[in-house]
């Protein structure tokens, strides 16, 4: 049929989620991929990923989103985890400043392991806990500006901005790729 020209135009992008332990990485992914939240989630060992599809310009774009699944507790996120990643969410917990202080280290690690342009989003998670906030929105914004990252605050608990966080990254990857093709 006349749409056969478009066949084979498939996109599959690898996106990694990084950041200190207990900032909400696994819950952001489960909220996005399955609309689930777990108040007592435990860090399991081993790497897991979920594949999510979205529509961009009428094309099906798939993102394979990887979760460290507890490796980060031992500062032992392997290079295999980063291999081939073209997008990253760097997550901190707005109620724990130490997790914000670690962002630089995560960015360095990402840089060390990637040999391509990576669409990067700084994510301040747990914004539902504004009453015990330890990192201001302005601090998040200015770090993101200084490092050339997108920035968003999210709540995996009440769903605020979770979809948006992933989709902005996936759209940016898509536009990086289409720019290359053109
Ligand atoms: P990870 O170690 O970074 O994967 O973090 P988890 O997703 O396992 O979450 C760690 C803890 O924080 C769990 O008890 C979650 O229920 C809680 N948590 C995760 N996201 C949020 C959030 O947006 N708001 C609140 N209030 N708690 C959250
Ligand atoms: Mg986890």
What ipTM goes with this model? 0.99
Q: Which secondary-structure segment (H or E) carries 101?
A: helix 97-101
Instruction: Encode pLDDT of 78-98 as tens digits.
Output: 888 999 999 999 999 999 999
Report the pLDDT value the prediction gives residue 44, as an integer from 0 to 100.
Answer: 64
pTM of the model: 0.92
Question: Which residues approach ligand 1 with their CB closer than 6 A?
Answer: 21-27, 38-41, 43, 125-126, 128-129, 155-157
Instruction: Encode pLDDT of 151-177 as tens digits.
Output: 999 999 999 999 999 999 999 999 988
Asked whether residue 74 carries a pLDDT value surpassing 90, the answer given is no
Percent of the chain topping pLDDT 90: 71
- Which one of 23, 25, 27 would you pick to mutate in the ligand 1 pocket, going by the greatest count of ligand atoms within 8 A of its CB? 27
Report the pLDDT value the prediction gives residue 72, as an integer from 0 to 100.
Answer: 79
Both tokens of 134, joined, read 């330890």
DSSP state letter for 20: S
Asked whether residue 1 carries a pLDDT value surpassing 50, the answer given is no
Q: Which residues of 61-94 are buried (b: 16+ CB within 10 A; e: fewer)?
A: bebbbbbbbbbbeeeebeeebbeebbbbbbbbbb
């Amino acid at each position: 049929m006349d749409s056969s020209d478009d066949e084979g135009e498939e996109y599959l992008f690898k996106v990694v989620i990084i950041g200190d332990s207990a900032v909400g990485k696994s819950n952001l992914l489960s909220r996005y991929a399955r609309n689930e939240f777990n108040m007592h989630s435990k860090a399991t060992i081993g790497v897991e990923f979920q594949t999510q599809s979205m529509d961009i310009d009428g094309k099906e774009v798939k993102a394979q989103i990887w979760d460290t699944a507890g490796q980060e507790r031992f500062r032992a996120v392997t290079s295999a985890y980063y291999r081939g990643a073209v997008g990253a969410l760097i997550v901190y917990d707005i109620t724990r400043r130490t997790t914000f202080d670690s962002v630089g280290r995560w960015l360095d690690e990402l840089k060390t392991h990637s040999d391509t342009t990576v669409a990067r989003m700084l994510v301040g998670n747990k914004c539902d806990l504004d009453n015990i906030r330890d990192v201001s929105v302005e601090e998040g914004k200015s770090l993101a500006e200084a490092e050339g990252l997108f920035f968003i605050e999210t709540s995996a608990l009440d769903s605020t901005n979770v979809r948006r966080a992933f989709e902005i990254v996936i759209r940016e990857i898509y536009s990086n790729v289409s720019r290359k093709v053109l």
